[in-house]
Structure 1
């Protein structure tokens, strides 16, 4: 681990290496304090999934050995600037016999950009059941984001294809270049890291938090007949909740089964169940975001 973090990492030829680098938060100026760099991003705003993953890693480094995150709840408070390092301050709320609770505040130049609380638990036996995974085509049979727009010479297209650490494959077509043929809230997406990830379960769970933020609000857009190219579209994550049910590996295919139960007041809710390749439910996620389009 380094003693300080630069503001922004350079975009390397291997995007997963760059992402692992920014998640390796550095020791800060005080106890339970850390600093973190940012991935470059078109528009200059910090990617929300990046900062919530960093906040989780920082919190995880303060809990007793053997305890892994089983849930988190976070609020995105303001947009972050990729040119400014992120300061992460962890508050130890409780260490019980089986559970630990931590609060992490992420800030830039003294201004908070994220507040997150997470709970960690030792591995324990208990009742066991899981919902079955939906029947969908295998990821090898689904068009990837690279297939869809990897040929486009545009900074946003390059960011989500060549510079992305994840291979993203939308079952039934993506919203990158236009709306879905039929407006509906259901969406299913295969996703996998583009390279091997060390066998650190905290890291894999943090990477899942990073990855899901790319697609969490897409069911809201899909149901409204919108796409990422809709003129005047403004989207921003407001809050994020995750529950990890089982160990997860992001360097193997994961299926995101998504929908949007409600949208109102310039906000939309996306919910997701994440299954591994074997069909086990590994996580459940919910996110509300600001979704605005110009009115006539």
Structure 2
């Protein structure tokens, strides 16, 4: 029998002034009630109750234990209640990890809306292109575009991450326009250094998949730096459309090789466990999926 239950039974016996009444209130047998009190006395090494055939009374030790038991049981109930509320109503600190460029470009307005929707929540956002250890570093949710490797995490796809090859008109005027992936070996390319297949650009062609090893004139661990360099005419960039969608629509960058589609990725929201998922995590991941979806804003 667990000690917390024994403590609750003891407090009920004192409150009701009777083993029989306590048994009825707690839907236990009188023998079970007596056993709980006996085990509590044995654990504490003190007699808690004076018992006669007509009444019970607290010993000096019993009076002290009774007062402390009430406080402990109240604290436990408060923990249970607040935890239950957190499971149904978003509250507390939501700690989120996201890639630098994606977070800076696309998460700000979503966080603002989320805070307005749930005033009981505060947010800690950490922008970092490395794959964080969610449990050790205390993250509730991570937005990931990298391949998922940790099978202990739950992943929900929130959007596609389509990729595109593009360059500025100034660069194309100077160097010409590549028509097929093998032409890229003759061009200045801007390559993302944290890509798992760094230096190898993969395409889905009309007849077969193609991989070409590019000569990177510039590498960087941040996509926005590469985008800025491409806008200035420094070279050809392979990057996600979430980074250059507006540049493509405005004509600042021109898409290349329409017959060869770069192999894309998925954007996932990942979290440690589906079991006992808190309301703050559930509501935030749901909002991400609603705002992005299969045709996210940057691809419209």
TM range (shorter): under 0.3
* Higher-Rg member (1/2): 2
Calculate the TM-score normalised by the size of structure 1: 0.19
Higher-strand-fraction structure: 1
Higher helix share: 2
Q: Which has the higher contact order (CA 8 A, sep 6+)?
A: 2
Tell me the TM-score normalized by structure 2: 0.19
